[in-house]
């Protein structure tokens, strides 16, 4: 799917569907507000709670976050765009984040990334049409002793090579 | 035992639970100190121990603690920097994953010493699983009366929270971290005022690294002289070094400060993988200048590294083998800083982009005659000219590589090809350097 098409699809689904948030997420958001002396400080935990439920941060989620922390939507958008882990477009069920920084690069990260591109038929920042995988180059993940490494969503996988990554992909439905 | 101090019990099963931690004597120091030993005495012991910050700058910890004003009418905060984002560094991750209670005990003690009732642990976003480990450990301590309204029955209140970042190297810089914690974009602030005077919510704030805080219970338990049995006069104690690159046994090693770098690589890590030789080592995370193989006997302590023209930094030891093209390696490092520059200061934002662009063309055989001078000039115009150290961190590796490996860079310009014949047994890495000239 091209970036434009996925964005259009994302926006229209956002317009058609009102934001539905589970009670658990609402409770998590309420709890995060108690940890700081002001509401603004909770903006990152609120965005995280929403992303963990929805998988990404559609405009409605940013609007909702802004109302919770009592900031202008533009300000929350500015914060969300600053941090690379907040997804402003939908990502696949399994978000493959391949470390490309020096230690991993010395141990074969570039080759691993090219293998994944070829195998999945997608490039950096793209998602497979079935929504199963997204692929991204990322910077140092603090797993340099297990280089090359990647994270699938939040799970670390270290000491990888092509064969190991192939076996890993098979386990990810 | 993997190490003398922080790693002495790190692999003990069950250590991450309150019960397991207590089995090894955990929280005994807290019970003996909080409400019993005067706070000033705690600061004095940490000062005497000579403990220096383990996050990168190596600033004396006790001195930092003493900068927090005692009579401020404002709240005081303690913030643990658990952003661990310096490339090559992965020690705090293992420490927190396996021994979360040692960090909590260290934070409660530090909070008691400076008179703070609230602490935050700022974790990088990728450490979501560690946040869950720490939250569980914090809940355990609250239930056991070791944190919260009445720490160990002393009347001292200490509330501790975790905060998850979301992917920004700059948030490891202490003022950017505070901005992020306050709910702003993670951009640094001008110092002074230093956080100790005006930090979180403009209140006096102590910011310490994970490893630094984990040393505190040991020091307050055993005393300054005991701590000084390891390390050197100016760098006492131990340091956890994260070793990566093509050595036989990469990983975290706790060693007494001052151990020669060669001993770490050859003895502890088992040397290089078969058929490989060390070309250079980045001793303290990618922000510090590299050491050529001729300087491998340099001691792993703050002062020896400074004398050798580099820094111990965060202890991220990246070993580079002879089959690696320095132009390619430096381009990789520089791209990192280009990507991670927060964009606030022009020299860093523009300079990292242009250094990266010049290295890209050198790497692809498109270098120009004056490119090496241009690189040196760009680095010089970034160094010391931005709010925070990110610009310096981008400039110093460039200067170090040009100093020690200028011939490789010149070869890329004059021959439009790479001096290093890239044959890496077992890995057969194909990188742009080869592609460009294939």
Tell me: the pLDDT tens digits for A92-149?
999 999 999 999 999 999 999 999 999 999 999 999 999 999 999 999 999 999 999 9
Q: What's the token pair of residue B343?
A: 């964009």
Final residue in a domain of this structure, among A57, A82, A107 = A82
Which CATH number belongs to the domain containing residue A115 in this structure?
Answer: 3.40.30.10
Which CATH number belongs to the domain containing residue A41 in this structure?
Answer: 1.10.10.1590
CB contact under 8 A, B332 and A105: yes
The dotted CATH code for B238-281+295-315 is: 3.10.20.600
A108 with B429: CB under 8 angstroms? yes
Q: In what order do the strands lie in the sheet with B118-123?
A: B159-164, B118-123, B77-82, B205-209
Total number of domains in chain A = 2
CB contact under 8 A, B431 and A102: no
> Residues with Cβ < 8 Å from B277, sequence gap 6 or more?
B293, B321, B322
Is A120 within a domain?
yes
Closest residue on chain A to B127 (Cα): A154
B310 with B291: CB under 8 angstroms? yes
User: Among residues B395, B400, B379, B380, which one has the least CA distance to residue B289?
Assistant: B400
CA B244 from centre of chain:
14
Is A87 within a domain?
no
Q: What are phi and psi of B278, to 5 degrees?
A: -70, 135
Question: Do A122 and A156 belong to one domain?
Answer: yes
Q: For chain B, what are the domain ranges?
A: 18-227, 238-281+295-315, 326-436
Question: Do A112 and A44 belong to one domain?
Answer: no
Question: Do A76 and A145 belong to one domain?
Answer: no
**Residue A58 gets which letter from DSSP?**
-
Query: How many C-beta atoms lie closer than 10 Å to residue B431's C-beta?
Result: 23
Is A32 within a domain?
yes
**Alpha carbons B374 and B364: distance in angstroms, whole number:** 17
What share of chain A has pLDDT > 70, as a percent?
Answer: 90
Closest residue on chain A to B252 (Cα): A145
pLDDT at A14 over 60: no
- What stretches in chain B show pLDDT beneath 50? 422-432, 435-438
User: Among residues B58, B1, B41, B49, which one has the least CA distance to residue B304?
Assistant: B58
CB contact under 8 A, A85 and B169: no
How many residues belong to chain B? 438
Q: Decide if A66 touches B, using CB distance below 8 A.
A: no
Range of the domain at A119: 94-172
**Alpha carbons A122 and A132: distance in angstroms, whole number:** 12
pLDDT for A43-82, tens place per residue? 999 999 999 999 999 999 999 999 999 999 999 999 999 9
> β-pairing, A150-152 with A94-99?
antiparallel
Query: How many C-beta atoms lie closer than 10 Å to residue B252's C-beta?
Result: 22
Q: Chain B neighbours among A 89-148 (CB < 8 Å)?
A: 100-103, 105-108, 110-111, 138-147
> β-pairing, B77-82 with B205-209?
parallel
pLDDT at A2 over 70: no
User: Among residues A112, A98, A106, which one has the least CA distance to residue B272?
Assistant: A106
Is A134 within a domain?
yes
B58 with B312: CB under 8 angstroms? yes
Q: What are phi and psi of B254, to 5 degrees?
A: -95, 120
Q: What's the token pair of residue B206?
A: 């102590």
Closest residue on chain A to B182 (Cα): A41
Contacts of A71 in chain B (CB under 8 A): 183
pLDDT of residue A6: 58
**Residue A41 gets which letter from DSSP?**
G
pLDDT of residue B364: 87
Q: Among A103, A111, A141, which would you mutate to test the B interface (most chain B Cβ atoms within 10 Å of its Cβ)?
A: A103
Is A89 within a domain?
no
Query: In this complex, which of A69, A105, A144 lies closest to B183 when CB atoms are compared?
Result: A69
Is A88 within a domain?
no
pLDDT of residue B428: 36
pLDDT of residue B417: 79
The dotted CATH code for B326-436 is: 1.20.1440.230
Contacts of B135 in chain A (CB under 8 A): none
Residue in the block written with tokens 């022009």: B346
Query: How many C-beta atoms lie closer than 10 Å to residue B36's C-beta?
Result: 9
Question: Do A78 and A98 belong to one domain?
Answer: no
pLDDT for A66-77, tens place per residue? 999 999 999 999
Query: In this complex, which of B87, B92, B165 lies closest to A101 when CB atoms are compared?
Result: B87
3-state secondary structure of A13: helix
Contact pairs from chain A to chain B, CB under 8 Å: 146
> Can you give chain B as a three-state secondary structure string?
CCCCCCCCCCCCCCCCCHHHHHHCCCCHHHHHHCCCCCHHHHHHHHHHHCCECCCCCCCEHHHHHHCCCCCCCCCCEEEEEECCCCCCCCHHHHHHHHCHHHHHHHHHHHHHHHCCCEEEEEECHHHHHHHHHHHHHHHHHHHCCCCECCHHHCCCCEEEEEEECCCCHHHHCHHHHHHHHCCCCCCCCCCCCCCCCCCHHHCCEEEEEHHHHHHHHHHHHHCHHHHCCCECCCCECEEEEEEECCECCCEEEEEECCCEHHHHHHHHCCCECCCCCEEEEECCCCCCCCEEHHHCCCECCHHHHHHCCCCCCCCEEEEEECCCCHHHHHHHHHHHHHHHCCCCCHHHHHHHHHHHHHHHHHHCCCCCCCHHHHHHHHHHHHCCCCCCCHHHHHHHHHHHHHHHCHHHHHHHHHCCCCCCCCCCCCCCCCCHHHHHHC
B197 with B69: CB under 8 angstroms? yes
Final residue in a domain of this structure, among A50, A82, A114 = A82
Is A109 within a domain?
yes
B81 with B5: CB under 8 angstroms? no
Question: Do A137 and A77 belong to one domain?
Answer: no
Question: Do A10 and A57 belong to one domain?
Answer: yes
Final residue in a domain of this structure, among A16, A49, A82 = A82
Q: Could you tell me the CATH superfamily of domain B18-227?
A: NADH-ubiquinone oxidoreductase 51kDa subunit (3.40.50.11540)
Contacts of A79 in chain B (CB under 8 A): 183-185
> Residues with Cβ < 8 Å from B113, sequence gap 6 or more?
B39, B42, B43, B46, B65
How many residues belong to chain A? 173
Question: Do A100 and A165 belong to one domain?
Answer: yes
B261 with B239: CB under 8 angstroms? no
């Amino acid at each position: 799917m091209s970036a434009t098409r996925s964005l259009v699809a994302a926006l229209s689904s956002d317009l058609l569907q009102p934001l539905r948030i589970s009670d658990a997420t609402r409770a998590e958001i309420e709890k995060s507000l108690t940890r700081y002396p002001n509401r603004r400080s909770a903006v990152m935990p609120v965005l995280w709670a929403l992303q963990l439920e929805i998988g990404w941060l559609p405009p409605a989620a940013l609007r909702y976050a802004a109302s919770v922390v009592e900031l202008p939507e533009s300000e929350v958008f500015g914060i969300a765009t600053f941090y690379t882990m907040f997804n402003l477009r939908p990502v696949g069920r399994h978000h493959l984040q391949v470390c490309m920084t020096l230690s991993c690069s010395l141990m074969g990260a570039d080759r691993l990334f090219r293998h994944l591109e070829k195998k999945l038929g997608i490039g950096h920042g793209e998602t497979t049409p079935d929504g199963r995988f997204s692929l991204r180059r990322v910077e140092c993940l603090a797993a340099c002793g297990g280089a090359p490494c990647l994270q699938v969503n939040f799970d670390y996988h270290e000491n990888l090579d092509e064969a190991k990554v192939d076996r890993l992909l098979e386990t990810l439905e | 035992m993997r190490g003398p101090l922080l790693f002495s019990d790190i692999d003990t099963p069950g250590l991450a639970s309150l019960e397991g931690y207590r089995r090894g004597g955990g929280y005994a120091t807290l019970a003996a100190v909080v409400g019993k030993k005067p706070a000033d005495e705690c600061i004095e012991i940490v000062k005497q121990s000579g403990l220096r910050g383990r996050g990168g700058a190596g600033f004396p910890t006790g001195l930092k603690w003493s900068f927090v004003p005692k009579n401020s009418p404002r709240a005081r905060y303690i913030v643990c920097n658990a952003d661990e984002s310096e490339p090559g560094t992965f020690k705090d991750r293992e420490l927190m994953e396996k021994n979360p209670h040692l960090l909590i005990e260290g934070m409660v003690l530090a909070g008691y010493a400076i008179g703070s009732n609230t602490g935050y642990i700022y974790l990088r976003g990728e450490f979501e699983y560690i946040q869950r480990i720490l939250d569980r450990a914090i809940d355990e301590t609250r239930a056991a009366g070791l944190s919260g309204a009445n720490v160990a029955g002393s009347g001292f209140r200490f509330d501790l929270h975790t905060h998850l970042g979301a992917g920004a190297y700059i948030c490891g810089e202490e003022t950017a971290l505070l901005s992020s914690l306050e709910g702003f974009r993670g951009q640094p602030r001008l110092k002074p005022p230093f956080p100790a005077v005006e930090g979180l919510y403009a209140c006096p704030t102590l910011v310490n690294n994970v490893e630094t805080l984990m040393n505190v219970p040991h020091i307050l338990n055993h005393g300054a002289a005991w701590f000084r049995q390891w390390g050197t006069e100016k760098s006492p104690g131990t340091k956890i070094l994260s070793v990566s690159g093509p050595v036989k046994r990469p990983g975290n090693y706790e060693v007494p400060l001052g151990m020669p770098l060669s001993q770490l690589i050859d003895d502890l890590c088992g040397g290089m993988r078969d058929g490989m030789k060390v070309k250079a080592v980045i001793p303290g995370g990618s922000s510090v200048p590299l050491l050529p193989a001729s300087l491998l006997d340099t001691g792993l302590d703050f002062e020896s590294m400074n004398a050798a023209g580099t820094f111990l930094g965060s202890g991220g030891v990246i070993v580079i083998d002879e089959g690696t093209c320095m132009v390619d390696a430096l381009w990789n490092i520089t791209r990192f800083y280009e990507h991670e520059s927060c964009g606030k200061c022009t020299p860093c934002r523009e300079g990292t982009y242009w250094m990266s662009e010049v290295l890209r063309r050198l790497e692809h055989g498109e270098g120009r005659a004056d490119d090496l001078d241009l690189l040196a000039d760009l680095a010089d115009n970034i160094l010391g000219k931005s709010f925070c150290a990110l610009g310096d961190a981008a400039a110093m590796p460039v200067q170090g590589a040009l100093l020690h490996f200028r011939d490789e860079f010149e070869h890329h310009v004059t021959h439009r090809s790479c001096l290093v014949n890239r044959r890496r047994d077992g890995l057969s890495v194909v990188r742009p350097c080869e592609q460009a000239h294939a």
